[in-house]
Amino acid sequence: IHDANIDFIHEPFFRQLLINSCLQSTKDLLQRTRIQIPSNEGRNMLGIVDEYNVLKSDQVFIQYTISDRNRNNNNNNNNNKNKTRILDQRKVVITKNPCHHPGDIRTFTAINHSKLKHLKDVVVFSQQGDRPAPHDISGSDLDGDEYLVFWHEDLVPTKTKNAPPYDYDSQIPADKFDGPVT
């Protein structure tokens, strides 16, 4: 093949073989890096603000409904139907998509507070601090953003501090427009 002067990159058949090989390798890599987190050790949750102002800037409140995937849907046993668990003094990792910067992955301490016990299956962020905690996570806000929250002990860093958050604010102020907007 070398003596035939075949250009593997530009020859259509071999080029397609290379492309397909790369695509398959990428799919395999994505499948292997997909981490299954048990539903009682991580969730997708909507974020809300602590309206009572009881959380410190590095704290969150998380109360989640216990998932029983083994429960038979046909039985009428309601004992576990609305059981919840509150994370207390537990390190949690919170991020959201897209996650482009190391500072978009934040570690918080989940605490229990009596004023927040009515909130379930959401992550409650503090309103204290120099800037809102959700803004540190991919420039997020609390207008319906969904966060990946996990507390699986093998996945939560214990000694690593949060990387500095990226500044997602626009550096150039918008031009003012004095005319009518139609």
The model's pLDDT over 53-77, given as tens digits with 9 standing for 90+, comes to: 999 999 999 999 997 654 444 454 5
pLDDT in tens, 63-116: 999 976 544 444 545 555 679 999 999 999 999 988 888 889 999 999 999 999
Are 18 and 105 in a shared domain? Answer: no
Number of H helices, E strands in the chain: 2, 7
* Residue 3 within a domain: yes
Structural Rg of the chain based on CA atoms: 24
- 2, part of any domain: yes
Give the residue with greater pLDDT, 53 vs 181.
Answer: 53
Q: How many domains, in total, are found in the chain? A: 2
> Does some domain include residue 167?
no
Is 161 within a domain?
A: no
Beta bridge partners, 92, equal 108
In a domain, 166, yes or no: no
* 73 and 12 together in one domain: no
Contact 139, 168 (CB under 8 A): yes
Q: Write out the residue range of the structural domain in which residue 16 sits.
A: 1-34
Residue 58 and residue 15 in one domain? no
Note whether residue 159 is domain-resident: no
The reply to whether 91 and 72 lie within a common domain is: yes
The whole-angstrom separation of Cα 71 and Cα 155 is: 27
